[in-house]
């Protein structure tokens, strides 16, 4: 078990180390935007938005630099507190560089160190902080190299984990953990469901420095479960058990037998220190007074009776308030009577135990034992106390002297206990009685005590059996077995000493290995010596301990069990199939189990069994970590069953079995070539490229493979061919033009064949065009003509590129690109210059390496002609007036202004005239005329009943070209006026036909 713990710890450490090397920048680049916030929380990114903005600005491709041989990477990442080196390589080893941070030059300091080693320039940043998270530049002359530095905060670790808790309904629950950083962001979950701030009415989250709290003010049964706190660097889980309020009695009150004037103490202990109760005597409540005291300290309730009298003998009970409990005990009054005999007669002792066995007194360990024995006699008798079956006795006489007894021939007594415990055991002599007292009775005080009363006349003796009862001894450490995913079986042995009372049951507790809080697993006492503990967390180390309980109380806890970890075997492997079969081998493959668990996965066991047999034989020595296996050296014709199991620390999983037996025999399979889609059309490659053609196929036994080119067998020196059981590969390290052609692959198994053809085209750049000629030059133009190239590079000519250059500068400029004809006219040449022309040919491989160039230049002559602009007839824009929108008939209300409108067009701007019944309205103040942007408006001010006639309003326009007129009719009904005024001037529009 200890070995398994070490292995688990090592695995956890390895995981944390690998996690710290994760490149968050790469993860963000590949992740979808919906995962950004989750990644930011997991890796402690505080400024996610700024980081994404800076990443977006990083250029994916940069132009080749002349100053830098090697530039800075687009981004760097460093943990907070660590150091990082930014390095570039410059072309000039003597070049000076500048380092900038967010555009500001960096000065040399203890944190920033500049180094120059040959062509390398290095910037070292020590003890990186969040302030170093910035954009950096390295400047050489006018060239710059940019990068982004991301400072990653260290993961938040959980330094003090959560503790399991068990509370009663209604009690306050407070989960506490401590993390490595103050104010860190944590996530709380219950049974895998996140607890959000919206549930603050139920849960309260609190931060205090490095401590994080989850508080439940009033717990309910529904709050039971597993609570998890998560950071980006750790997880801690604790279990909360909420129980109904149930009172437990840790120590019940015990029967007491006391003497007169002695003290009687009834004591009980319950589980809840806040529970109160009442004491009853024979069913009636006990009222405290000077002699009777009632106390409640913590979980302990006491009833103390001083100077016990015979009236105190009764049944006493303690009833906790609010619980159906009745703890009862009996107080028995022990009266020792000695019958006085006449003088010269021996004394006689009378013990009266009131119905109990006359010689047995039971005392609870820790309480005081007091025996009062009245004595009489003449002369005064000597009292001797002996512990039976000891070597000597202790004599206490009436003269207050204490001497060993001389008469011990018939008794084998010993005073060792009494002498060694002299401070605890006392014998007091009084005139008429003797008192024997033991303070704080212990287990060793148990036994038979004999009291002997002697005088010269005779003697009397009585035996008193003292039985000391106590809580049991703690059991031995429990043992753990049958460990599963979240359960285990706990076993223990009864305590060696039961305290003198039968063991009523056991209480079991558990805790996490690193915790200090023990959590009780049962409220009802366990009667058996085994218990199946459940609801544990897989992968967490636990310890168990047990208490024994009798009628007196609960023992001390047992030693803790050996630490153990609940782990479960993995589930069985999945997709277990046969991949291939030959005459002596079987190839198997499978996938890992769906559930592996905290125990990890150590490997797989592969076994086989012959058909009809029950003996499983290991197919491989030991465990295999791969998910495939080749079983060799099998007998041809055997029918075998195969199975596989996954193994981890907890043991073996269930077996995954192939249902049908597998016959060990080569299967004849027809050859079939699976030609990839891209090879079903012509494969085009450039000269010098590497060709690697992989053609998968099927067929058993292994087929014979033949490659042909244009009907001829391939030369193995020119091309490489590799064959396997499932594919064939044609490999050409450097393609040449002669590799073009039709290739044929043939598979043959006995008399069965399959073949496929592949066309390969190797292309190269074309040659230059031929016979370029300058056909003609006129004005600012030159005509060219040429012939297609002699070598087309084994590909179709896609076009030509035509360029020109001035004889003075000889700088070439492209005139036509992807030009498909073999002649062209170059225009817009400059007068007085001489031009040369050249033409490149182009195919799929690119432009030809050389061009065809004209031998003679084209000279653009200067002409002496003068420019004569053409004469144009002036355009006449005039237009006669025309109404584009006519006047419309109107019905109006008396007393309200109204308008008539129309629209007119004409060039030049026409003059406007308004007429009413052929009378010009220009000088009438009752009418106002407007003209704006061709819209004509006539406003008639406050029409009256006097205007109640059919009128015709005429608008007339006039310009130099023509004239136009437009008329409208309107009327006013006087008989409607009263009705309109009565209706609060409601607008009623009526149309009348003219």
For residues 146-168, average pLDDT: 87
Identical fold, 158-243 and 340-469: yes
Q: How many C-beta atoms surround the C-beta of residue 255 within 10 A? A: 15
Instruction: Indicate the pLDDT class of residue 775, thresholds 50, 70 and 90.
Output: very high
Q: How much is the pLDDT for 47?
A: 65
Q: What pLDDT is stored for residue 362 in this prediction?
A: 81
CATH superfamily ID and name for 340-469: Immunoglobulins (2.60.40.10)
Provide the whole-model pTM. 0.46
Segment 98-117, tens digit of pLDDT: 999 998 999 888 889 999 88
Q: 790 or 310: whose pLDDT is higher?
A: 790
Q: How much is the pLDDT for 695?
A: 93
User: So what's the pLDDT on residue 827?
Assistant: 92
In 3D space, the residue among 827, 857, 859, 822 whose CA is nearest the CA of residue 839 turns out to be 822
Lookup: tokens for 580: 């291939």
Looking at the predicted structure, is the pLDDT value of residue 404 above 50? no
Reply yes or no on domain 879-982 having CATH 2.60.40.10. yes
Question: What is the reported pLDDT for 959?
Answer: 56
**Does 226 have pLDDT greater than 70?**
yes
How many Å apart are CA 157 and CA 180, to the nearest integer?
Answer: 5
Residue 51, SS3 per DSSP: helix
Which residues have CB under 8 Å from 214's CB, separation 6+? 174, 175, 188, 195, 203, 204, 205, 206, 227, 229
Averaged confidence pLDDT in the chain: 81
What local confidence, expressed as pLDDT, does residue 371 receive? 78
**In the predicted structure, residue 856 carries a pLDDT above the cut 70:** yes
400 has pLDDT over 80: no
Q: What proportion of the chain, given as a percentage, has pLDDT over 90?
A: 30
Is residue 797 a contact partner of residue 839, using CB atoms and an 8 Å limit?
A: no
Q: How far apart are CA 285 and CA 301, in angstroms?
A: 15
Mean pLDDT of all residues in 327-353: 65
Q: How far apart are CA 665 and CA 585, in angstroms?
A: 8
Cα torsion angle, 825, 828, 831, 833, sign: negative
Report, as an integer, the average pLDDT of 537-557. 89
For the ranges 20-29, 200-209, 676-685, the maximum mean pLDDT occurs at 676-685
Residue 932 CA to chain centroid, in angstroms? 75
| 429-438, 592-601, 774-783, 866-875: range with highest mean pLDDT | 774-783
**Least confident interval from 88-92, 388-392, 709-713:** 388-392
- The confidence score (pLDDT) of residue 7 equals 36
DSSP 769-781: PEEEEEEEEETTE
Q: What is the pLDDT of residues 498-531, one digit of tens each?
A: 888 899 999 999 999 888 888 888 888 899 999 9
pLDDT interval class at 434 (50, 70, 90)? confident
CATH of 58-152, one of 2.60.40.10, 2.30.110.10, 3.40.30.10, 1.10.1040.10: 2.60.40.10
Is the pLDDT score of 377 beyond 80?
no
Nearest Cα to 794, choosing from 850, 840, 839, 735?
A: 735
Overall residue count recorded for the chain in this entry: 994
β-pairing, 628-631 vs 234-243, is: unpaired
Please state the rounded mean pLDDT for residues 922-937.
87
| Superfamily (CATH) of domain 249-332 | Immunoglobulins (2.60.40.10)
pLDDT of amino acid 921? 84
For the chain, the maximum distance between any two Cα atoms, rounded to a whole number of angstroms, is 183
Tokens of 618: 């290991």
Give the whole-angstrom CA distance, residue 564 versus residue 1. Answer: 7
For the segment 247-306, what is each residue's pLDDT rounded down to a tens digit?
778 888 888 888 888 889 999 988 878 888 999 888 788 999 989 999 999 889 999 999
pLDDT of residue 361: 80
Residue 289's DSSP bridge partners are none
Q: What pLDDT sits at residue 392? A: 40
What pLDDT is stored for residue 766 in this prediction? 94
3-state helix, strand, coil in the chain (%, to 5): 10, 45, 45
Superfamily designation of domain 669-763:
Immunoglobulins (2.60.40.10)
Regarding predicted confidence, which is higher, 436 or 867?
436
Domain ranges, ordered by start, for the chain: 58-152, 158-243, 249-332, 340-469, 479-550, 574-662, 669-763, 770-859, 879-982
Give the span between the Cα atoms of 302 and 279, in whole angstroms. Answer: 9
Residue 710, pLDDT above cutoff 60: yes
Q: How confident is the model at residue 958 (pLDDT cuts 50, 70, 90)?
A: low
Q: Which long-range contacts (CB under 8 A, 24 or more apart) does 139-144 make?
A: 139/97, 139/98, 139/99, 139/100, 140/67, 140/68, 140/90, 140/92, 140/95, 140/96, 140/97, 141/67, 141/95, 143/65, 143/66, 143/67, 143/68
The conformational region for residue 659 under phi > 0 = left, psi -120 to 50 = alpha, else beta, is: alpha
pLDDT at residue 422 is higher than 60: no
Pick the CATH number of 479-550 from 2.40.430.10, 2.40.50.1020, 3.40.50.2020, 2.60.40.10: 2.60.40.10
Does 861 have pLDDT greater than 60?
yes
Give bridge partners of residue 722 from the DSSP assignment.
729
CATH: 3.40.50.150, 3.60.9.10, 3.40.50.720, 2.60.40.10. Which one for 574-662? 2.60.40.10
| Element (DSSP H or E) covering residue 42 | helix 36-43
Closest CA to 899 of 957, 965, 968, 966: 968
Q: Does 373 have pLDDT greater than 80? A: no
Which among 314, 318, 290 is positioned nearest to 303, based on CA atoms?
A: 318
pLDDT of residue 55: 62
Q: For 242-375, where are the alpha helices, taking DSSP H only?
A: none
What local confidence, expressed as pLDDT, does residue 198 receive? Answer: 66
Is the pLDDT at 350 greater than 80? The verdict is: no
CATH: 2.102.10.10, 2.60.40.10, 3.40.50.300, 1.10.10.10. Which one for 158-243?
A: 2.60.40.10
Q: Which of 964, 853, 993, 823 is nearest to 904 (CA)?
A: 964
- Angle ∠(558,560,566) on CA atoms, nearest 5: 135
pLDDT reported for residue 482: 87
Q: What is the DSSP letter of 977?
A: H
Any idea which fold 770-859 has? Immunoglobulin-like (2.60.40)
User: How confident is the model at residue 665, as a pLDDT?
Assistant: 85
Residue for token digits 């889980």?
237
Measured distance CA(379)–CA(48) in Å, rounded: 106
| 447-464 residue pLDDT tens | 888 888 888 878 888 888
CA atoms within 13 A on the CB side of 790: 4
| CA nearest to 499, candidates 472, 467, 466 | 472
What sign does the dihedral 55-61-63-64 (CA atoms) show?
A: positive
Q: State the residue for tokens 């330094």.
A: 159
The pLDDT value given to residue 992: 27
Is the separation of the CB atoms in 803 and 847 below 8 Å?
A: no
3-state secondary structure of 34: helix
For 644-680, how does the pLDDT look when each residue is reduced to its tens digit (9 = 90+)? 999 988 788 889 999 889 988 887 888 999 999 989 9
What are 568-610's pLDDT values in tens digits?
888 899 999 998 888 889 999 999 999 887 778 889 999 999 9
d(CA 643, CA 862) in angstroms, rounded, equals 98
Phi-psi region of 322 (alpha: psi -120 to 50; beta: other; left: phi over 0): left
Tokens at residue 146, please? 């940019």
Share of residues in the chain with pLDDT > 70 (%): 83
d(CA 613, CA 405): 86
Write down the pLDDT at residue 640: 92
Mean pLDDT on 458-485: 87
Range in 266-270, 418-422, 425-429 the model is least confident about: 418-422
CA distances from 476 to 205, 363, 555, 649 (A): 42, 26, 12, 27
């Amino acid at each position: 078990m200890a070995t398994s713990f070490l292995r688990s710890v090592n695995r956890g450490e390895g995981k944390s180390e690998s996690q710290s090397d994760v490149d968050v920048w790469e993860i963000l680049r590949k992740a979808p935007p919906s995962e950004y916030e989750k990644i930011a929380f997991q890796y402690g990114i505080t400024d996610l938005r700024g980081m994404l903005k800076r990443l977006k600005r990083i250029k994916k491709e940069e132009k080749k630099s002349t100053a830098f041989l090697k530039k800075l990477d687009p981004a760097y990442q460093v943990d907070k507190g660590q150091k990082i080196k930014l390095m570039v390589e410059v072309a000039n080893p003597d070049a000076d560089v500048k380092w900038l941070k967010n555009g500001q030059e960096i000065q040399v300091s203890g944190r920033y160190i500049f180094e120059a080693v040959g062509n390398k320039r290095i910037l070292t940043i020590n003890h990186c902080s969040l302030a170093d998270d910035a954009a950096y530049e390295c400047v050489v002359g006018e060239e710059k190299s940019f990068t982004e530095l991301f400072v990653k905060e260290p993961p938040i670790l959980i330094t003090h984990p959560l503790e399991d808790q068990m509370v009663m309904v209604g009690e306050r629950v407070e989960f506490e953990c401590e993390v490595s950083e103050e104010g860190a962001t944590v996530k709380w979950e219950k049974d895998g469901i996140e607890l959000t701030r919206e549930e603050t009415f139920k849960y309260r989250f609190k931060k205090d420095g490095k401590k994080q709290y989850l508080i439940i003010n009033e717990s309910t049964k529904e709050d039971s479960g597993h609570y998890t706190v998560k950071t980006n660097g750790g997880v801690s889980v604790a279990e909360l058990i909420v129980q109904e309020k149930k009172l437990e009695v840790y120590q019940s009150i015990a029967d007491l037998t006391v003497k007169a004037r002695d003290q009687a103490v009834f004591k009980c202990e319950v589980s809840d220190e806040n529970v109160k109760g009442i004491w009853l005597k024979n069913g009636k409540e006990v009222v405290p007074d000077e002699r009777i005291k009632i106390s409640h300290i913590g979980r302990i309730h006491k009833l103390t009776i001083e100077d016990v009298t015979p009236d105190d003998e009764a049944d006493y009970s303690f009833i906790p308030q609010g619980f159906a409990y009745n703890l009862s005990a009996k107080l028995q009054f022990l009266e020792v009577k000695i019958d006085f005999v006449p003088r010269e007669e021996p004394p006689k002792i009378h013990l009266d135990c009131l119905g109990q066995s006359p010689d047995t007194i039971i005392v609870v360990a820790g309480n005081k034992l007091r025996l009062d024995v009245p004595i009489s006699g003449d002369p005064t008798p000597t009292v001797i106390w002996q512990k039976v079956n000891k070597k000597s006795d202790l004599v206490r006489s009436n003269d207050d002297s204490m001497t060993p007894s001389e008469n011990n021939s018939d008794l084998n007594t010993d005073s060792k206990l009494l002498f060694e415990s002299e401070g605890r055991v006392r014998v007091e002599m009084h005139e008429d009685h003797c008192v024997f007292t033991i303070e704080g009775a212990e287990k060793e005080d148990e036994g038979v005590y004999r009291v002997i009363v002697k005088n010269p006349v005779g003697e009397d003796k009585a035996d008193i059996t003292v039985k000391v009862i106590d809580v049991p001894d703690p059991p031995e450490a429990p043992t753990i077995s049958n460990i599963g995913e979240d359960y285990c079986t706990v076993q223990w042995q009864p305590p060696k000493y039961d305290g003198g009372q039968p063991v009523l049951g056991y209480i079991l507790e558990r805790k996490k290995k690193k915790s200090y809080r023990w959590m009780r697993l049962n409220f009802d006492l366990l009667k058996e010596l085994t218990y199946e503990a459940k609801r544990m967390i897989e992968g967490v180390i636990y310890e168990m301990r047990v208490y024994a309980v009798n009628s007196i109380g609960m023992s001390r806890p047992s030693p803790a069990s050996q630490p153990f970890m609940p782990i479960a075997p993995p589930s069985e492997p999945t997709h277990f199939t046969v991949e291939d079969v030959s005459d002596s081998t079987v190839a198997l493959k499978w996938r890992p189990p769906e559930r592996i668990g905290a125990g990890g996965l150590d490997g797989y066991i592969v076994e086989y069994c012959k058909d009809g047999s029950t003996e499983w034989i290991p197919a491989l020595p030991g465990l295999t970590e791969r998910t495939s296996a080749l079983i060799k050296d099998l007998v041809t014709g055997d029918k075998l069953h195969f199975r596989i199991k996954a193994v981890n620390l907890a043991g073996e999983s269930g077996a995954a079995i192939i249902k049908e037996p597998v016959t060990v025999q080569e299967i004849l399979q027809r050859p079939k070539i699976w030609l990839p889609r891209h090879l079903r059309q012509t494969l085009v490659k450039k000269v010098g490229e590497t060709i690697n053609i992989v053609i998968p196929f099927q067929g058993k036994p292994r087929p014979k493979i033949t490659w042909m080119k244009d009907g001829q067998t391939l030369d193995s020196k020119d091309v490489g061919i590799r064959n396997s059981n499932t594919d064939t590969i044609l490999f050409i390290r450097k393609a040449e033009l002669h590799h073009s052609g039709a290739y044929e692959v043939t598979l043959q198994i006995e008399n069965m064949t399959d073949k496929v053809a592949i066309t390969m085209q190797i292309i190269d750049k074309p040659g230059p065009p031929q016979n370029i000629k300058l056909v003609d030059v006129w004005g600012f133009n030159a005509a060219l003509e040429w012939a297609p190239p002699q070598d087309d590079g084994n590909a179709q000519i896609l076009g030509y590129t035509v360029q020109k250059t001035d004889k003075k500068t000889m700088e070439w400029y492209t005139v036509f690109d992807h030009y498909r004809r073999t002649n062209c006219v170059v225009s817009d040449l400059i007068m007085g210059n001489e031009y040369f022309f050249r033409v490149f040919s182009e195919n799929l491989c690119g432009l030809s390496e050389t061009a065809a160039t004209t031998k003679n230049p084209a000279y653009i002559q200067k002409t002496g002609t003068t420019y004569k602009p053409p004469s144009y007839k002036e355009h006449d824009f005039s237009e006669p007036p025309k109404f584009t929108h006519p006047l419309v008939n109107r019905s109006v209300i008396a007393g309200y202004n109204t308008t008539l409108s129309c629209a007119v067009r004409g060039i030049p701007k026409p003059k406007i005239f308004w007429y009413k019944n052929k009378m010009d309205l220009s000088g009438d103040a009752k009418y106002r005329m407007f003209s704006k942007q061709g819209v004509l408006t006539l406003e008639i001010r406050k029409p009256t009943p006097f205007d109640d006639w059919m009128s015709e309003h005429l608008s007339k326009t006039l310009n130099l070209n023509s004239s136009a007129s437009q008329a409208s009719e309107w009327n006013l009904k006087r008989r409607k006026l009263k009705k309109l005024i009565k209706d609060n001037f409601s607008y009623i529009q009526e149309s009348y036909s003219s």
